[in-house]
Amino acid sequence: MTVHDPDLRPAPTPAAAPKEGEIGGILTVDLAAIEANWKMLAGMTMPVECAAVVKANGYGCGIEPVTRRLAKAGCRTFFVADLGEARRVRAVAPDAAIYVLNGIMPGSAPAFAEGSFRPIINSVTELAEWDAFTSQNSWRGGAALHVDTGMNRLGVSVQEATAIAPRLHSENHGFTLVMSHLACAETADHPLNDRQIRLFREIRIMYRGIPSSLANSSGIFLGGTAFCDLVRPGVALYGANPTPGKKNPMRRAVELKAHIIQVRAVNRGESVGYGAGWTAERPSRIAVLPVGYADGLLRSASAAKGKPAAEIMIAGRRCPLVGRVSMDLLAADVTNVAEGSVRRGDLATIIGDGTSVDDLAAGMGTIAYEVLTSFGRRYHRVYRGD
């Protein structure tokens, strides 16, 4: 069954949500596929708890509908980037544990208590501020400690984690999770994976009795040594391949289509788009679609000399993009499609019909994470599978 979800954000009011007949692009999110992906990963890692990362508006798929669906499926723990996202998750998952990855901004500790959110402590400075707040307010809501084992981004150092560990002898130590972040999990044979897993094993020994978490989507496929007590898949839930170079084990969760607004002839030697970056080498037919980089179709997908263009599906054929992707428009070469089979108003498929989000990302010279999280606000969104 297909559902047009009325509780979409960031559209300010239901009336402002784009309608299918008024907009060029249609983004369909398969909630049943997202649930199936979560259940598959949960089954792979049993009896370890399987959380869900729903930051960046549920990786572009809608934080409320995704969270609601996964909470109903049995997911008890969610990870978000900031307090704004945490509040959106709490609105549809009132009983869930919600961890905030970016930690505590100066002065923000009271907001964690108000929403019953759990900060992920990324530095000793944050820990000191959190301790001061919890001591003054007798708050016992819990927090996670992030230990840096090789990412060299956020997290306390191993030496700092060692110095903090004796506080576990206190009854009110305040930690509900100790975690780290794999830097190269998508490259299974990268030596840093084994180094981080071994180092985090030592941290787990020091923090025995506290649940631990290391594996992200790709980390789950490194095997049981990375599972710990909780896994936290993100991009794999939304259908991207967590095992690059191998067959994608996940179900496709998004489909993106756009209406063709014009089909035009381009003579040999004429150019298309800004900068005259593509020139027709033969008499050509071009289909123009009303989507562009404002909608997440990155400018890097543009055809350029020495670079293959991204492709989309039109009338059952793969058609390369031509010219530069602009803010609101892109063009595709439909010369090889049978004359008369491409018309104004027809739908072209950008993701779907054999083109995955990873395929589109490759054509843009980027990764599925960026494609998913770049989906703009202007699409008509349809939620399927509820």
Catalytic residues: 55, 274
Residues linked to residue 266 through DSSP beta bridges, in sequence order: 284
CA–CA separation, 59 vs 25, rounded Å?
A: 18
CA distance 228 to 55: 22
- Name 159's Cβ contacts closer than 8 Å, sequence gap at least 6: none
- State the amino acid at position 98 in one-letter form: I
What DSSP character marks residue 97? E
Q: What's the CA gap between 59 and 215, in Å, rounded?
A: 18
CA atoms lying within 13 Å on the CB side of residue 374: 19
- Given its phi and psi angles, is residue 371 left (phi above 0), alpha (psi -120 to 50 degrees) or beta? alpha
Which pair of structure tokens corresponds to residue 236?
């794999």
**Cα angle 52, 252, 240; round to 5:** 60
Q: How far apart are CA 362 and CA 142, in angstroms?
A: 41
DSSP letter for each residue of 205-262 = HHTTTS-EE---HHHHTT-GGGTTTEE---GGGGT--SSTTS---SPP-EEEEEE--E
Largest Cα separation within the chain, whole Å, is 78
Question: How many helices and strands, by DSSP H and E, does the chain display?
Answer: 11, 21
- First-last CA distance in the chain: 6
CA distance 189 to 146: 24
- Count of Cβ atoms closer than 10 Å to residue 128 Cβ: 11
